[in-house]
């Protein structure tokens, strides 16, 4: 009996498959896939090809010669950055547009952030080579994760749909969770990874729930369609409670990713516990991608709610500036100092976002977005250089995580004067001293705030910069005026002291040269940043 039923069911199923159901036929006849401009997507495809190649070839071949993994990742990032420059030229000639059925924005803002991310991956890959060389962790996995995270960051910067943006966010986040815990022989690294994973999961949940509420309010997740919907449907007398609730949840999720106070609690522990090159990657590439997503969501997708979200950004900027600057001063661990410094820099970036909010959606958008985009590029380079020096110095003291106390830098100028000079350049730039890129970055966001008459936040930002300068001065005093410990002198005499590898030295030197060059000749980069206001609609 059972055999007969099975036979009959098989015959019925075969006849249905042979004839085809009406629904299947309708879908097959009406579905038309979006047109894909593959060359326009070439920066993402280059990063993807590099990541897949490293994983596949790395798994099927013997261990590569020393430095080849890092070189492959750096070449991949450089190729993607070069392709983004080519796309930039095409956009400036033909104007911005959207790709893949309106899901991806093809504009100068996306290309500027893509170039920033690729520069970050290139420099961090060089730092990682010296950090991992000679250790059991030296393999293709770390570099492939850098490239995968970079893909997520590029998608976040280019997303014209909130679902696509969320996919990019999760791609970046999952790679960062693994990278933070990548040193399997370190308890601190494992702790950093689990803390980042747990808190990051909460932030992603807030972000996704916010998308759901905005979809309920607008009926779409596409940013262009959302703008059109709210443009014709925003009632100032009766605000859309569903949209405001979604906006609030999105801000919570994004502020966690940018490490802004009071959502910064994960930053010091994760920055300290993660391997130093990974910390440099989080402070540069991850922050750039998160702020790119914030600008896409707030300034591009929700300009009609600017009077609702701008005061929130104002408060978060003040909190980040105050908390980051004052708590950094009392730290004795250099990585924790730079972690709280990163919170302070997030405050400066939020000053630019707040300035962009005054003119969001208008024909003349002002200098808010260009100042943030420029700040992200300049800060990414100098923070990678800073963590590069920390990596080199801490490794000489035998710390496997690249962690370093302030005492580790005593007398560095007498031991390695060029390394101390490079670190001084980075610290002065973070303090915003003239003739460095940091001054150009901070001046840009403060000027943008002054232009829209946000005088209070501009004054607070300048005061916070003065307070934070004391932090950088502490490190410089330790390097230049203090005497090195006896153990450090003995290790230098024995030839086991600080050793700057070729790849690390190249990355640090390139970052220092860029920091000084842009500080003296900023015009060319300022002109490039001015074009990011041309957003795809």
DSSP-assigned letters across all residues of 423-436: HHHHHHHHHT-TTS
pLDDT at site 495:
55
* Of residues 115, 143, 121, 131, the one with CA closest to residue 54: 143
pLDDT > 70: percent of the chain: 89
Tell me what the mean pLDDT of segment 517-525 comes to: 94
The whole-angstrom separation of Cα 360 and Cα 303 is: 5
Tell me what the mean pLDDT of segment 112-139 comes to: 91
Bigger pLDDT: 138 or 524?
524
Query: From its phi and psi, is residue 331 left (phi > 0), alpha (psi between -120 and 50) or beta?
Result: beta
Tell me what the mean pLDDT of segment 152-167 comes to: 95
The whole-angstrom separation of Cα 173 and Cα 195 is: 13
Each residue's pLDDT tens digit, 75-99: 999 999 999 999 998 998 888 999 9
Each residue's pLDDT tens digit, 376-414: 999 999 999 999 999 888 876 666 555 677 888 888 888
Residue 183 clears pLDDT 60, i.e. is over it? yes
* Of residues 330, 251, 343, the one with CA closest to residue 295: 251
Each residue's pLDDT tens digit, 265-283: 999 999 999 999 999 999 9
* pLDDT band at 26; cut points 50, 70, 90: very low
Contact 437, 429 (CB under 8 A): yes
The dihedrals phi and psi of 432, each to the nearest 5 degrees, come to 85, 30
pLDDT at site 27:
46
Residue 243 clears pLDDT 60, i.e. is over it? yes
Torsion angle in degrees (nearest 10) through CA of 318, 324, 329, 331: 150
3-state secondary structure of 510: helix
pLDDT at site 394:
82
- What's 333's DSSP letter? B
pLDDT at site 3:
46
pTM of the complete model: 0.91
pLDDT > 90: percent of the chain: 63
Q: Exposed, middle or buried: residue 361 (CB in 10 Å: 0-12, 13-18, 19+)? A: middle
């Amino acid at each position: 009996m059972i055999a007969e039923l099975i036979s009959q069911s098989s015959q019925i199923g075969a006849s249905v498959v042979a004839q085809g159901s009406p629904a299947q036929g309708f879908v097959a006849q009406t579905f038309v896939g979006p047109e894909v401009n593959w060359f326009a997507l070439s920066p993402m495809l280059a990063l993807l090809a590099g990541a897949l190649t490293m994983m596949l070839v790395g798994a099927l071949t013997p261990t590569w010669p020393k430095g080849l993994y890092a070189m492959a990742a750096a070449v991949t990032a450089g190729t993607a950055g070069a392709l983004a420059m080519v796309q930039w030229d095409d956009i400036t000639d033909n104007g911005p547009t959207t790709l893949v059925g309106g899901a991806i924005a093809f504009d100068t803002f996306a290309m500027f952030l893509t170039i920033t991310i690729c520069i970050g991956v290139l420099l961090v890959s060089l730092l990682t080579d010296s950090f991992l060389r000679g250790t059991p962790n030296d393999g293709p996995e770390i570099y492939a994760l850098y490239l995968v995270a970079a893909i997520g960051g590029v998608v976040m910067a280019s997303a014209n749909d909130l679902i696509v943006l969320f996919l990019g966010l999760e791609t970046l986040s999952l790679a960062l969770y693994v990278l933070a815990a990548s040193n399997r022989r370190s308890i601190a690294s494992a702790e950093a990874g689990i803390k980042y994973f747990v808190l990051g999961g909460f932030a992603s949940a807030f972000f996704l729930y916010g998308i759901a509420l905005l979809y309920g309010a607008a009926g779409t997740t596409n940013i262009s369609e959302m703008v059109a919907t709210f443009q014709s449907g925003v009632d100032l007398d009766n605000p859309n409670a569903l949209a405001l609730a979604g906006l609030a949840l999105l801000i919570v999720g994004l502020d966690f990713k940018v490490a802004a106070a009071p959502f910064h609690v994960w930053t010091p522990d994760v920055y300290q516990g993660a391997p130093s090159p990974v910390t440099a990657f989080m402070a540069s590439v991850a922050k750039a991608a998160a702020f790119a997503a914030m600008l896409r969501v707030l300034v591009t997708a929700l300009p009609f709610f600017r009077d609702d979200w701008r005061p929130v950004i104002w408060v978060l900027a003040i909190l980040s500036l105050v908390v980051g600057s004052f708590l950094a001063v009392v730290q004795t661990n250099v990585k924790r100092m730079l972690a709280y410094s990163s919170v302070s820099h997030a405050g400066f970036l939020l000053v630019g976002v707040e300035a962009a909010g005054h003119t969001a959606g208008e024909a003349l958008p002002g200098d808010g977005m260009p100042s943030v985009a420029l700040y992200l590029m300049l800060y990414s380079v100098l923070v990678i250089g800073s963590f590069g020096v920390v990596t080199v110095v801490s490794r000489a003291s035998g710390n496997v995580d690249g962690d370093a106390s302030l005492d580790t830098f005593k007398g560095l100028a007498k031991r390695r004067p060029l390394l101390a000079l490079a670190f001084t350049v980075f610290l002065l730039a973070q303090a915003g001293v003239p003739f460095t890129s940091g001054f150009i970055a901070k001046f840009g966001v403060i000027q943008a705030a002054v232009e829209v008459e946000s005088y209070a936040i501009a004054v607070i930002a300048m005061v916070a910069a003065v307070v934070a300068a004391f932090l950088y001065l502490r490190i410089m005093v330790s390097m230049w005026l203090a005497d090195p410990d006896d153990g450090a002198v003995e290790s230098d005499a024995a030839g086991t002291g600080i050793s700057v590898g070729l790849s690390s030295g190249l990355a640090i030197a390139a970052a220092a040269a860029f920091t000084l060059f842009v500080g003296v000749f900023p015009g060319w980069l300022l002109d490039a940043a001015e074009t990011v206001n041309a957003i795809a609609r």
